[in-house]
């Protein structure tokens, strides 16, 4: 189904705020596909998923977010909300919309960009000589065939070789946290498959997976990239990855820490950046 009009809201979710480059690059890709894009995310656009323990608050958050997207649709003509986060997408589809009148449709960014493949293909001018294993989960296929969509996008990149690998449980790595050993098993299975296949790159699809495996970058000669980084690289866009660097021991510059509040940085951010490797 084609999108209605070319104006859209890119709903990147909450936890993507760790990955500013991915937000910006995603917007650039959507713009190059011909869309007028406004981004929205963070706690003010929470879907409610993280608050299953507080149903009243979660429901209020869902209503507020739907109202904001309805307003963007009515006042700015942004009749499509393009999602990134599979949790947000499923929550909107399954729980938010049955309880709130929506004046917009939704699509996942991988669907939009895959459908715009013919428009994007001429922009993929830089060969990306990588042998890539795509880190896949089996979840979210109930709503969007995301693994196939990302593969179809990456297949258009000159000289990129995509290797088949396992599809692990859950819809993204963070969903596995409730079962001891599940996350470690999923990361290990994926990483071992990449190494055994002679891959030099492991490509993540979602932010939560990227967050987990970024710290392994360089091990076994394998670098960690998100699929958006690879598309951007082929377009000649700056495809930096600050979070990966931080997990590798780099630190944000002092001015950025000062702006964020050094106390909050030390309490909330630093422990995450220094947490043990997943495998």
Looking at the Cβ atoms of 156 and 252, the one nearer to other proteins is 252
CB of 203 to other proteins, least distance (A): 21
Instruction: Tell me how far apart the alpha carbons of residues 246 and 192 are, in angstroms, rounded to a whole number.
Output: 24
Distance CA 203, CA 38 (A): 26
Pick 38 or 148: Cβ nearer other proteins: 38
Concatenated DSSP letters of 60-115 = HHHHHHHHHHHHHHHHH---EEEE--HHHHHHIIIIIGGGS---SEEEEHHHHHHH
Q: Residue 1 burial (CB < 10 Å; 0-12/13-18/19+)?
A: exposed
Nearest residue (CB) to other proteins, 103 versus 125: 103
209 by Cβ neighbours in 10 Å (0-12 / 13-18 / 19+) ranks as buried
Residue 221 to residue 246: CA distance in whole angstroms: 19
What is the smallest separation between the CB atom of 113 and other proteins, expressed in angstroms?
13
Q: Which is nearer to other proteins, 121 or 242 (CB)?
A: 242
CB of 68 to other proteins, least distance (A): 11
Which residue, 129 or 259, is less far from other proteins as judged by CB?
259
Give me the least distance between CB of 93 and other proteins, in Å please. Answer: 7
Please state the closest distance from residue 129 (CB atom) to other proteins, in A. Answer: 29
- Edge-to-edge order in the sheet of strand 201-204: 161-163, 131-134, 201-204, 223-226
Least distance from other proteins to the Cβ atom of residue 274, Å: 14
* Residue partners of 102: CB distance under 8 A and separation at least 6: 66, 69, 70, 96
The candidate with the shortest Cα–Cα distance to 244, out of 223, 265, 267, 271, is 223
Decide whether 50 or 126 has the Cβ nearer to other proteins: 50
Residue 121 or 167 having the CB closest to other proteins: 167
**Shortest distance (Å) from residue 239 CB to other proteins:** 15
């Amino acid at each position: 189904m084609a999108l209605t009009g070319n104006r859209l809201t890119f709903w990147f979710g909450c936890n993507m705020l760790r990955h500013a480059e991915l937000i910006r690059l995603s917007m650039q890709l959507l713009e190059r596909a011909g869309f007028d894009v406004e981004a929205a995310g963070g706690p003010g656009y929470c879907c409610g998923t993280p608050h299953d323990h507080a149903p009243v608050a979660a429901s209020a958050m869902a209503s507020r977010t739907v109202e904001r997207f309805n307003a963007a649709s009515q006042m700015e003509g942004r009749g499509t909300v393009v999602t990134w986060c599979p949790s947000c997408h499923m929550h909107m589809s399954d729980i938010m919309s049955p309880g709130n009148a929506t004046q917009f449709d939704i699509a996942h960014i991988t669907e939009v960009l895959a459908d715009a493949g013919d428009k994007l293909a001429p922009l993929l001018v830089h060969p990306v000589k990588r042998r890539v294993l795509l880190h896949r989960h089996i979840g979210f296929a109930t709503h969007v065939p995301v693994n196939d969509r990302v593969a179809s996008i990456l297949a258009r990149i000159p000289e990129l070789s995509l290797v088949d690998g396992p599809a692990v449980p859950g819809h993204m790595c963070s969903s596995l946290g409730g079962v001891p050993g599940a996350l470690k098993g999923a990361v290990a299975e994926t990483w071992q498959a990449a190494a055994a296949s002679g891959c030099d790159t492991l490509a993540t699809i979602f932010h939560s997976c990227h967050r987990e495996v970024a710290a392994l970058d360089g091990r076994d000669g394998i670098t960690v990239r998100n699929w958006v980084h690879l598309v951007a690289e082929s377009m000649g866009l700056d495809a930096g990855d600050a979070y990966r660097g931080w997990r590798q021991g780099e630190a944000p510059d002092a001015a950025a820490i000062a702006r964020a509040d050094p106390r909050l940085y030390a309490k909330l951010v630093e422990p995450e950046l220094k947490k043990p490797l997943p495998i």
